Chain A
Amino acid sequence: MSNPTTGTDRPDAQALQEWVSDACRGLGLDLPDPENDFFESGGTSLTAIRLISRAEEVFGEDALPPEDLFAHSTVREIAAAIDRNTRS
């Protein structure tokens, strides 16, 4: 899995969205578009645990709090949550 945080700059919004889409594909979910919704595309609370775990592996602890994912779950919103929570 590629790590958009490597390198000197913060990943931009599009790179984060691509990371989310890729991570979802790795979980068997097809969300090619930023407006695709994780749960409407077949995500379950168990897949959510996996996605959150993978986000924490890459972006650090609390990168994607479950409350954020359950409240807003399109690719765009998930990427925005990761961006918000990893902004130091």
Chain B
Amino acid sequence: MTSTTTRPDPPVRIIDAGPAALDAHRALNADHDTGPGYPEQGLKELFEAQAARRPDATALVHRDTALTYRRLDGLADALAARLWAAGVRPGATVTVLMERSVELVVALLAAVKCGAAYLPADPGWPDRRLADLLDLAGSAHVLVRADAAAATAARLPGRAVLPVERADLAAHPAPAPPHRGSPEEIAYVNFTSGSTGTPKGVPVRHRGVVHLVHDARYARLDEDAVLLQLAPVSFDAATFELWGALLHGGTVVLYPSAFVRLGELGRVLERHGVTVLFLTTALFNTVVDEAPRVLAGLRTVLTGGEAHSLTHMAAALRHYGTEKVVSVYGPTECTTFSTFHPVRELPPEETSLPIGRPIQHTRAYVVAEGKLCAPGETGEVLIAGPGLSPGYLGLPEATARQFVEVEIDGVRERVYRTGDRAHLSPRGHLVFQGRLDHQVKVNGFRIELGEVAHHLDAHPAVRRSFVTTRPHRQGGQELVAFVVPEGPEVDARAVRADLARELPAYLVPSVLRLCAELPLTATGKVDRAALLARAEESGGAAAPTGPAPTGPAPTGPAPTGPAPTGPAPTGPAPTGSAPTGSAPTGSAPTGSAPTGTVRP
């Protein structure tokens, strides 16, 4: 896992800045060093300190089961001892392949107690994809529920599959292994879509997690905090949900079902007195439309993943007032959240909701062509701070491209190039303006169109393909693929079904259409507009959409289980009006990225 860290002596890029740009960025980042720092400790020590301080406080609730810190810590110790005995050592990666359960949380803690990283994976992922991800992460150990052990061993030959069952652990207590954690260690690995067809593994240090939840500005996180764990555990929002509670002596409540229902969501929030909830943009909009009272009792609702709809935000302000809703933004590479924006008003001159200002300990910059942007100038968002990943697993070139050393305003630091475009508003907020590349967000899942195209083009029946997004009738975006088949006998449904066997549900286009050729524009690019218009004309022909073949999948909001699980982060992406995944909401800025990806 150390193979991907930054290269020695990376080149430093000096970012020039005019006075207006400097002033605006100093104001944007002014707060980052005013608060206290965060503890330079690992998750193990910080969690154990809470367990020692508040042993009888409720740490974890799942359905009718509540576990105190003492009990949860004891179960995690017992499992950690077994992992250690099975050969897990600091620096290893332990895959956790479970749906939401007490055992899931015990498993994550046990990995951390060994100094190992956890790789949260979804049992619903296709076998080959799962095996590939485990290979990329070098994970030899897989933790599963006892009833899934035999089937998992068959799915993943060559791995040590270890069953986890609470009663069994309780019956065999054991002290934790003799490991002392460090903020430098890798806490977990998430995967994001990769444009070359292979997902990118993003390791996150303990420091990233500690900084995310310590002195949080975007929500009150303390021993009275009760957080709902609703996101798929392989989605990085789960980092916030779990550790936001467990590092403060608060309570994490696991959503009881595989698929979210608004009635049940309301009952769970009320019954357990949940104080802070994260919802993907799409699910937030759904709640605001269908059952706004569900969120009435919360202190804070965090929402992000795609660009927000001003219509829904206006409705939310009416329902909840000005103190409850906070928009959050951040790539997985920077540990869940990088910026936040408390939604207090919707000024008439703003055509999209800002992504706001950096969270604690974090800096943000807008840079174009090597220069820091003044307010109103659009550039790429760079993020700096302790949330930054050390770099992609096994991808030194991608790491060197996205994680760079810069010198800005006389300060040298490492930044992550988000690929997101933004400008600073007159009010000093970052405002998202689209993507620089072909990355899109669909239902909160971050998708590289190139990854989908890569898998389509590898299909023997596919000669060429073009993958893009279009607005969905119910809001948000949907993934659409156009395929030039190798022959007349090719069946679009069959191609889509084959793709669904290789890719998680959220990467499978909801619409796949065959076409004789890909029309080109005058400049020789694939004519996306013509293809989409043609798709509209042909109505319901070709391969219609379907839900994920494996079940209730493709919403970010859906919880574990059959739900998909994209390691998608909370970055924005267009909703509604945007013509493609890579364009912004509202008025289209000039020079925005092309809108699809094609491989000859």
Whether a CB of chain B sits under 8 angstroms from the CB of A32 is no
Counting chain A residues whose Cβ lies within 8 A of the other chain, the interface size class is 20 to 34
- The reply to whether A53 and B473 contact each other, CB–CB distance below 8 Å, is no
Q: Given A49-B261, A56-B263, A61-B263, are A41 and B544 also a contact pair (CB < 8 Å)?
A: yes
**Is B169 part of the contact surface with A, judged by Cβ < 8 Å?**
no
Residue A34 CB within 8 A of the other chain: no
Q: Least Cβ distance of B218 to chain A in Å?
A: 25
Query: Given the interface contacts A53-B263, A56-B261, does A46 sit within 8 Å of B282 by beta carbon?
Result: yes
**Residues B262 and A49 in contact, CB atoms below 8 Å apart:** yes
**Interface bits B465-508 vs A (CB < 8 Å: 1, else 0):** 00000001110101000000000000000000000000000000
Contact check, B546 vs A49: say whether CB atoms are below 8 A apart: no
The answer to whether A46 touches B263 (Cβ under 8 A) is no
Q: State which residues 544-565 of B face A: CB under 8 Å.
A: 544-548, 551-555, 557-558, 562-563
- Smallest CB gap from B262: residue in A: A53
Whether the Cβ atoms of A49 and B283 lie closer than 8 Å is yes
Name which of B206-214, B285-293, B352-360 contacts chain A: B285-293
A80 on the interface (CB 8 Å rule)? no
Q: Which of B289, B291, B540, B547 contacts A45 (CB 8 A)?
A: B547
Contact between chains at A27 and B474 (CB < 8 Å): yes
Given the interface contacts A49-B260, A53-B291, A61-B263, does A44 sit within 8 Å of B286 by beta carbon? Answer: no
- Select the residue from B259, B557, B563 with max chain A CB neighbours within 10 A: B259
Interface readout for A1-42 with B: 1 if CB under 8 Å, 0 if not? 000000000000000000000000001110000000001111
Q: Is the CB of A53 within 8 A of B547?
A: no
B348 to chain A, nearest CB (A): 29
> What residues of chain A lie closer than 8 Å to B260, measured between beta carbons?
49
Complex contacts, B262 vs chain A, CB 8 Å: 49, 52-53, 56
Q: For residues 252 through 288 of chain B, which have their beta carbon under 8 Å from a beta carbon of chain A? A: 257-263, 282-283, 286
- The closest CB in chain A to the CB of B505 belongs to A45
Beta-carbon contact of A66 and B263 below 8 Å: no
Choose from A28, A41, A46, A47 the contact partner of B557 (Cβ within 8 Å): A46
Q: How far is the CB of A51 from chain B (nearest CB, A)?
A: 10
Given A41-B544, A49-B262, A66-B259: A28 touches B554 (CB 8 Å cut-off): no
Residue total for B at the interface (Cβ-Cβ under 8 A): 35
Chain A residues with CB below 8 A from B259, complex form: 45, 48, 66-67, 70
User: Chain B's nearest CB lies how many Å from the CB of A48?
Assistant: 7
- How far is B474's CA from A29's CA once the two chains are assembled, in angstroms? 9
Contacts A40-B546, A53-B261, A54-B290 hold; do A47 and B474 have CB atoms under 8 A apart?
A: yes
B279-315 with Cβ < 8 A to chain A: 282-283, 286, 289-291
Knowing A53-B261, A70-B551, the reply to whether A46 touches B290 (Cβ < 8 A) is no
B558:A40 contact, CB within 8 angstroms = no
Q: Is the CB of B263 within 8 A of A44?
A: no
Give the CA-CA distance A59 to B189 in the complex, in Å.
43
Considering the chains assembled together, what is the distance between the CA atoms of A54 and B261 in angstroms?
Answer: 11
Given contacts A28-B474, A50-B290, contact A45 B553 (CB under 8 A): yes
Contact of B283 among A40, A46, A54 (CB under 8 A): A46
Q: A residues within 8 Å of B by Cβ?
A: 27-29, 39-50, 52-54, 56, 61, 66-67, 70, 73
Complex A-B: 15 CB contacts under 8 Å: A29-B473, A40-B544, A42-B544, A44-B472, A44-B474, A44-B545, A45-B555, A46-B282, A49-B557, A50-B286, A50-B289, A52-B262, A61-B263, A66-B552, A70-B259
